Structure 1
Amino acid sequence: MRRLVRACFSGSAGYSYAKSADDVAREHGIDRVARLASNENPCPPSPAAVEAAANALRTANRYPDTRATALVEALRRYHGDYRFVTGVGMDGVIETVIRTVVEPGEAVVVSTPTFSFYGLAAAAHGARVVNVPRREDFSVDTGGFVEACRGAKLAFLCSPNNPTGNSVPLGAVEEILEGIEGLLFLDNAYVDFSDIDYRPLMRRHENLVLGRTMSKIFALAGLRVGYAFVPEWLEPFYHRAATPFALNSVSLAAAAGALADPDRVRETCDHVRQWRERFLEEIPYETFPSDANFVMIDVSPLTGGEAVERLAAKGVLVRSCTSFPGLGDHYIRVSIGEDWENVRFLEAINNL
């Protein structure tokens, strides 16, 4: 019966996950593992988010609001008067945008190396994925990217980029928007940790979607809440393509609660920025400047896999970058964690 499986799944390993902390603990006999592989927020959710989620459980016998009205209103209070859509994580938003605009066989352009799910999701919808490599310093060749987008309805660009950590300048994004005829999905999952603000571009360009998530700065990774700024013309069609009742009522309530606690956001940003600077100063390998809550490290002459295994033996879980399209096999990505996790990591990598 395996012949029934589509070729894009039968011949591919799919999304590559980091090892779990429990697996590392069992394998190496370690009680407490530093979890620095998944770009999670090391801080627990805002008390406001926890309280809102607990209250929402009382009405979990009812279906959630399919238009996420309360969350959209909270997003407008937080960001301003923009159009928003939601999904199960940003992954859900990505899949729905692809479903909305891309026909099977059409091209979807992806700037690489980057988050592999753009290509996986596009291929799963029958699209033809066109990877456009970044320059050697991981900056975007805007001219080459625009050229590759000719005839494509949709393109993906990540800024700050996962896993390299660098941002695409505002002017470069605007150059792309002015040069392409299709839609640009700009993934801003980590933008809260940077000094760059792409939101004003929404006022000037109707071919831009800004993808966001509640998983990172708002510490709700386990509740899977994604959202996006969308142009007015796209919103009704997105809702037609979206899975009904995709976001549960507990996640919706927690997300609205988290948005009402900006002090928690500032505390998290301060923590990340301080440790990011320490990582750049104290890691003995080439470490790339980052605008995100992680750094990428060139661990040559080790491979990424070798470095991951050696660090795991010291109780530190990090991510090999070998699964990211367009990267070599000698990079790892390390998230900013709790203070004790960061200290253990610095000790471990300085004795690698």
Structure 2
Amino acid sequence: MEQLVRSCYKKKSGYVFAKKAEDIAREYGMSRIARLASNENPGPLSPAALEAAEAALRTVNRYPDERVNVLMNALRSTYGDYHFVTGVGMDGVIETIIRTLVDPGDQVAISTPSFSFYALAAMGQGAEVVTVPREADFSVDTKKLIKAAKIAKITFLCSPNNPTGNATSTQDVEEILAGIEGLLFLDNAYVEFSGIDYLPLMKRYENLVLGRTFSKVHSLAGLRIGYAFTPRWLPPWYQRAGTPFTVNSVSAAAAAAALGDKEHAERFIAHVREWRKRITEEVKYPVLPSDANFVMIDVAPHTSDAMVEELARQGVVVRSCRSFAGLEDHYIRVSIGEDWENEQFIQVINSL
């Protein structure tokens, strides 16, 4: 019966995950592993978010609110008069927006190297994927991107970019918005760590979506909840195309409470900025400038996988960048973890 599987999935591999810390610990007989591969917040969730989640658990015998009002109200209270959609992680938002707008054969443009799920989700909808390589320093050539994305239904741009860490300026984003005919999905999963504010662009452009997530700064990666700022015209069509009852009641309650705990977020942002600076200064390999909660490191002459394997043997899990299309095979991505994890990483990589 495998002949029934669509040819696009037979030709392309799926999403590539980092090695599991539990598997490495078992393989090498270790009790504690530095988990620096998945760009998570290593700290616990906000006490307010935990309390809200526990209260919501008492209601899970009922379907969640299909309008996710508890979270929508919290988003408006936090950010003001914007339009929002929600999903199961930002992945769910991406997938639903593609399903809403893209017909089989339509073009979807992606600035690469970047998050691989854009292409996987577009391919699943039957889109023609057009990749637009970044410059040697991983900046975006706006004119090249505009030319390649001229007729694309959706253009995906990640800023700060995963895995390179660099951000695209608001001026460059505005140039892209003015030059393309379709929608720009600006992935802002790591924007809180950058200090860049793209929100004013929402008031001036009807072809901009800003994707966000609770997985990073808010410590809710395990609850899988994402959202996006959208133009006024998009939410009704998004709801029509979306899966019913997507966001569960526990995730919605925790996310709404997390938005109100600004001190929790600010502590982690300060922690990330401090350790980005230390890693950049103390690691002997070239560390690329980053506006995210991770850094990308050039480990040449080692390959990505060889370095990841050697670090794993010594109790540190980082991400190989070999699977990122358009990126040479000598980069690793390292998340900012707890103090002891970051210190262990610096000590180990400098000893190699």
Secondary structure of 1:130's counterpart equals strand
Secondary structure of 1:305's counterpart equals helix
Structure 1 letter corresponding to 2:294: F
Q: Does 1:341 align with 2:341?
A: yes
Q: Residue 50 of structure 2 corresponds to which residue in structure 1?
A: 50
Q: Residue 242 of structure 2 corresponds to which residue in structure 1?
A: 242
Structure 1 letter corresponding to 2:206: E
Structure 1 letter corresponding to 2:338: E
Kindly report which structure 2 residues correspond to 1:293-312, keeping only aligned pairs within 5 A, or say none. 293-312=293-312
Q: Give, in angstroms, the shift of residue 341 of structure 1.
A: 0.4
Q: Does 1:273 align with 2:273?
A: yes
Q: Give, in angstroms, the shift of residue 148 of structure 1.
A: 0.7
Secondary structure of 2:199's counterpart equals coil
Structure 1 letter corresponding to 2:250: V
CA contact (8 A) 2:38 2:335 kept: yes
The superposition leaves residues 110-145 of structure 1 with CA deviations (integer Å, 9 ceiling, x where unpaired) of 000000000011001110100000000000010010
Distance in 2 separating the partners of 1:150 and 1:173:
15
Secondary structure of 1:287's counterpart equals coil
Q: Residue 127 of structure 2 corresponds to which residue in structure 1?
A: 127
Distance in 2 separating the partners of 1:97 and 1:118:
11
Structure 2 letter corresponding to 1:200: P
CA contact (8 A) 2:150 2:179 kept: no
Q: Residue 290 of structure 1 corresponds to which residue in structure 2?
A: 290
CA contact (8 A) 2:140 2:168 kept: yes
Secondary structure of 1:212's counterpart equals strand
Give unmatched runs, 5+ long, in structure 1: none
Q: Does 1:221 align with 2:221?
A: yes
Q: Residue 64 of structure 1 corresponds to which residue in structure 2?
A: 64
Distance in 2 separating the partners of 1:135 and 1:76:
37
Distance in 1 separating the partners of 2:67 and 2:9:
31
Give unmatched runs, 5+ long, in structure 2: none
Q: Give, in angstroms, the shift of residue 78 of structure 1.
A: 1.2
Secondary structure of 1:286's counterpart equals coil
Q: Give, in angstroms, the shift of residue 81 of structure 1.
A: 1.2
Distance in 2 separating the partners of 1:74 and 1:351:
47
Structure 1 letter corresponding to 2:214: M
Structure 1 letter corresponding to 2:239: H
Q: Give, in angstroms, the shift of residue 11 of structure 1.
A: 2.3
Kindly report which structure 2 residues correspond to 1:76-91, keeping only aligned pairs within 5 A, or say none. 76-91=76-91
Q: Give, in angstroms, the shift of residue 273 of structure 1.
A: 0.5
Secondary structure of 1:92's counterpart equals helix
Structure 1 letter corresponding to 2:9: F
Q: Residue 29 of structure 1 corresponds to which residue in structure 2?
A: 29
Distance in 2 separating the partners of 1:44 and 1:10:
39
Q: Give, in angstroms, the shift of residue 86 of structure 1.
A: 0.1
Structure 1 letter corresponding to 2:144: G
The superposition leaves residues 178-233 of structure 1 with CA deviations (integer Å, 9 ceiling, x where unpaired) of 00110000000000001100011000000000000000000100000000000001
Structure 1 letter corresponding to 2:5: V
Distance in 2 separating the partners of 1:180 and 1:227:
24
Percentage of matched positions with identical amino acids: 65
Q: Residue 328 of structure 1 corresponds to which residue in structure 2?
A: 328
Distance in 1 separating the partners of 2:311 and 2:4:
41
The superposition leaves residues 97-120 of structure 1 with CA deviations (integer Å, 9 ceiling, x where unpaired) of 000000001110000000000001
Q: What count of residue pairs does the alignment treat as equivalent?
A: 352
Secondary structure of 1:119's counterpart equals helix
Secondary structure of 1:333's counterpart equals strand
Kindly report which structure 2 residues correspond to 1:152-191, keeping only aligned pairs within 5 A, or say none. 152-191=152-191
Structure 1 letter corresponding to 2:12: S
Distance in 1 separating the partners of 2:7 and 2:247:
30
Q: Give, in angstroms, the shift of residue 12 of structure 1.
A: 2.1
Q: Give, in angstroms, the shift of residue 152 of structure 1.
A: 1.2
Structure 2 letter corresponding to 1:322: R
Structure 2 letter corresponding to 1:215: S
Moved over 2 A (4+): none
Structure 2 letter corresponding to 1:250: V
Distance in 1 separating the partners of 2:24 and 2:282:
25
Distance in 2 separating the partners of 1:228 and 1:249:
18
Q: Give, in angstroms, the shift of residue 16 of structure 1.
A: 0.1
Q: Give, in angstroms, the shift of residue 151 of structure 1.
A: 1.4
Secondary structure of 1:166's counterpart equals coil
Kindly report which structure 2 residues correspond to 1:194-213, keeping only aligned pairs within 5 A, or say none. 194-213=194-213
TM-score (norm 2): 0.99
Secondary structure of 1:108's counterpart equals strand
The superposition leaves residues 149-200 of structure 1 with CA deviations (integer Å, 9 ceiling, x where unpaired) of 1211111000000000000010000000000110000000000001100011
Structure 2 letter corresponding to 1:19: K
Distance in 1 separating the partners of 2:281 and 2:241:
47
